[in-house]
Amino acid sequence: MIFFLWILNLPSAASGKSEVSSVIYKVSECMQELIKLWEEYEASQSDKNTESSHKGPTLEIRIPAEHITATNRQVRGGQLWGTDIYTNDSDLVAVLMHTGYFRPTASPPPPAIQELHATIRVLPPQDSYTSMLRNNVRSRAWGAGIGCSYRVERCCIVKKVGGIIDLEPCLTHTSAAEPTLAPVAVERAMTTRAAASNALRQQRFLREVTIQYNLCNEPWIKYSISIVSDKGLKKPLYTSARLKKGEVLYLETHSCRYELCFTGEKMVKVTQASQVHEETDKFHNHHPHSSNGEKHDSDNVHIDVFRWSRCKKPLPQKVMQSVGIPLPLEHVQVLEENLDWEDVQWSQTGVWIAGKEFTLARVRFLSPS
């Protein structure tokens, strides 16, 4: 859900009404303030005609640049119900991706961008909210009224050096790469959050066993973020832990195959340890695939490292098993080595490696024979 930090909410001496200047988007647990705004508005309009009372107030939301990414945990969690008009607890960043104001990627915006300003209009609750695949994001269906609703009326970029760039929505684009927030083409409406949560778990399970044929015409699993995401609190099932145990992850685009494997540890001197520990702790607090990949001694910090390579030629699995997994260096072109785990970020449609995006179609874990 979204939490909005109120910046200014002062009564106007002339009208006696509230004037909200702006609020700051923060990832948190509730959106009671938005519901309160709607209830106050309804109360103030009770003596006016019904049509005008349901236009709703507008509100400007300021979104810091660090939240404008598909790795935002609310976006990853599919916190999004409706199409064009969304439930009050739909995440605003996910809504802006769904409406096409910016595309969902795992990398943050360029450093020149300070924040986004989005103007939303608060609306009454709808009888139901529809699901739609749009811009690599699928919203979810909801079959009952909930608090209030909202829609986006304007969005713009605010640059650090000054200046504003207006963004335009894109309401018709659907990528050939299917999204992973909700993995079914048609979604039935839910009327309780427990039912919706259970349905989403079932959908993710079904998506995990969706089969495609790889570049060698062998059956592989269709790429889904649910396959590479950590399984609850079971650390042995974390992707990073599986790689450390010797499994190797092979991933394909429509034309290339890539390999991600664990290669050992790198050592950081104790003079740098406090900074590394602080950064890693901060990372583990929000990263979906983190592992306890550090151990300390009195002089050094040891950090797990991984390697990202392109396979020079897609080989059948039997051949791969015979030559060795991970593949020997003569079979791969190493693109990135000594990667920290935080340099590997999974998005709805692929993976970001050290800031570069790879759009994926298929995935397979393989173990050494």
* 187 phi, psi to nearest 5 deg: -120, 125
> What's the pLDDT at 11?
39
C-alpha pair distances (Å), 11 with each of 1, 267, 355: 28, 58, 46
Tens digit of each residue's pLDDT (9 = 90 or more) over 222-244: 998 888 877 666 777 788 889 99
Give, as one character, the DSSP assignment of residue 81.
Answer: B
> What's the pLDDT at 215?
94
> What's the pLDDT at 48?
62
- Tell me the C-alpha distance between 167 and 156, whole Å: 5
Indicate the pTM of the whole model.
0.48
Kindly state the tokens that stand for 303: 């950090």
DSSP string of 103-143? ---SSPPPTTEEEEEEEEEEEPPPS-B---EETTEE-B-B-
- Tell me the C-alpha distance between 190 and 128, whole Å: 9
> What's the pLDDT at 299?
63
Burial label for 255, CB within 10 Å (0-12, 13-18, 19+), is exposed
- Residue of 187, 184, 174 whose CA lies nearest to 131: 187
> What's the pLDDT at 4?
52
> What's the pLDDT at 31?
65
Which residues in the chain come in under a pLDDT of 50?
1, 3, 5-18, 30, 52-53, 175-187, 204-208, 272-296
C-alpha pair distances (Å), 44 with each of 17, 52, 251, 270: 8, 11, 57, 62
> What's the pLDDT at 259?
97
Domains and CATH numbers, the chain: 2-199 (2.170.130.20), 209-366 (no CATH)
> What's the pLDDT at 6?
44
Q: Kindly report the CA angle at 121 between 115 and 123, in degrees rounded to 5?
A: 140
